[in-house]
Amino acid sequence: MKFKVFAPIIIFLVIFSGCIYKPPYVINISLNKPLLEAGETFYITMVFNNTGKVAFVKMEDLSEIPDNFIIVQSPQFPKTLKVGESARLVWVFRAPSTPGTYPLKLRFRFIDELNRPWFEHKEFLVTVIEKKNKGGQGKLVMTFNLSSNKVNGGEEVTGFLNLTNLGDAPVKITSVLINPPRGATIISREEAPSAISPKDAEILNFTLKMGYSYFKGYVTVFVGYVENGQYRTDVLSSPIEVLWMPWKVDRETLKEVYGGNYYWIVNPYVVDGYWKEKYNAEIIGDIDSLREYTKGLTEGAISEVDAARNVFNWIKKNYSFGDTTTAVDPILIAQQRKISYDEGQILFVGMMRALNIPSRLVTLYDGSDCTLNAVSEFYSGGKWYVVDFKRDFFGSRAEYMSTPYFPRIYYLFAKGGYKLVAQAPEEVRGHEHVNVGAEYLSEMQDGILGVLKTRTTAYGKIKLDKIISTMQGDERIFALFLLASAPRNELNELLEGADIGEIEKNIKTIYEFYKDVPYPEDFRVYWKVLKEGTK
Which CATH superfamily includes the segment(s) 2-129?
A: Immunoglobulins (2.60.40.10)
The pLDDT of residue 8 is above 60: no
Q: Does domain 250-436 have CATH number 3.10.620.30?
A: yes
CA–CA distance, 486 with 495 (Å, rounded to integer) = 11
Report how far apart, in Å, the C-alpha atoms of 1 and of each of 4, 26, 57, 284 are: 5, 33, 41, 83
Kindly report, residue by residue over 231-245, the tens digit of the pLDDT. 888 999 999 999 999
Measured between alpha carbons, how far is 15 from 86 in angstroms, rounded to an integer?
24
Which pLDDT does position 45 carry in this prediction?
Answer: 92
- 128 forms beta bridges with 36, 100
Q: 486: pLDDT confidence band, cut at 50, 70 and 90? A: very high
Q: What pLDDT score was predicted for residue 407? A: 98
Contact 370, 431 (CB under 8 A): yes
CA gyration radius for the chain?
27
- pLDDT reading at 262 higher than 50: yes
Measured between alpha carbons, how far is 24 from 53 in angstroms, rounded to an integer? 7
- For the chain, the average pLDDT equals 91
Closest C-alpha to 384, from 489, 266, 261, 291: 261
- Strand pairing partners for 338? 320
* Average pLDDT for 407-414: 98
> Which has more confidence, 8 or 235?
235
Q: Which amino acid is at 83?
A: V
Same fold, 2-129 and 140-243: yes
State the average pLDDT over residues 450-455: 94
For the stretch 425-434, pLDDT in tens is 999 999 999 9
Q: Indicate the burial class of 87 (C-beta count within 10 angstroms; 0-12, 13-18, 19 or more).
A: middle
How would residue 318 be classed by pLDDT, with cut points 50, 70 and 90?
Answer: very high
CB atoms near residue 8 (< 10 Å): 9
Q: 413 with 421: CB under 8 angstroms?
A: no
**pLDDT attached to residue 136:** 44
Task: Flag whether pLDDT at 1 surpasses 70.
Answer: no
The CATH class, in words, for 140-243 is mainly beta
The span from the first CA to the last CA of the chain, in angstroms, equals 36
- For residue 18, pLDDT over 50 is answered with no
- Per residue in 115-153, pLDDT tens? 899 999 999 999 998 876 554 444 789 999 999 999 999
Distances (CA, A) of 152 to 210, 212, 530: 8, 8, 49
Instruction: Tell me the DSSP string of 56-114.
Output: EEEEEE--B--TTSEEEE-----S-B-TT-EEEEEEEEE--SS-EEEEEEEEEEEEETT
pLDDT value of position 132: 66
Statement: residue 277 has pLDDT above 80: yes
What's the rounded Cα separation, in Å, for the pair 262 and 427? Answer: 18
List beta partners, residue 234: 223
Q: Which residues contact 371 (CB under 8 A, 6 or more apart)?
A: 274, 275, 278, 342, 363
Query: Listing from the earlier edge strand, what are the strands of the sheet with 195-196?
Result: 150-152, 230-243, 215-227, 171-179, 195-196
Average pLDDT for residues 100-114, to the nearest whole number? Answer: 92
In this predicted structure, the answer to whether residue 33 has a pLDDT above a threshold of 90 is no
483: nearest Cα among 505, 452, 510, 514: 452
Domain boundaries, the chain: 2-129, 140-243, 250-436, 456-535
Work out the average pLDDT over 259-275.
Answer: 97
Helices (H) and strands (E) in the chain, counts: 16, 25
> Which residues partner with 322 through β-bridges?
340
Report d(CA 373, CA 375) in Å as an integer. Answer: 7
What is the Cα–Cα distance from 448 to 463, expressed in whole angstroms? 16
- For the chain, what percent of residues have pLDDT higher than 70? 95
Contact yes or no for 239/149 (Cβ under 8 A): yes
Rounded CA separation 535/525 (Å): 18
Provide CB contacts within 8 A for 479, sequence distance 6+: 467, 468, 471, 507, 511
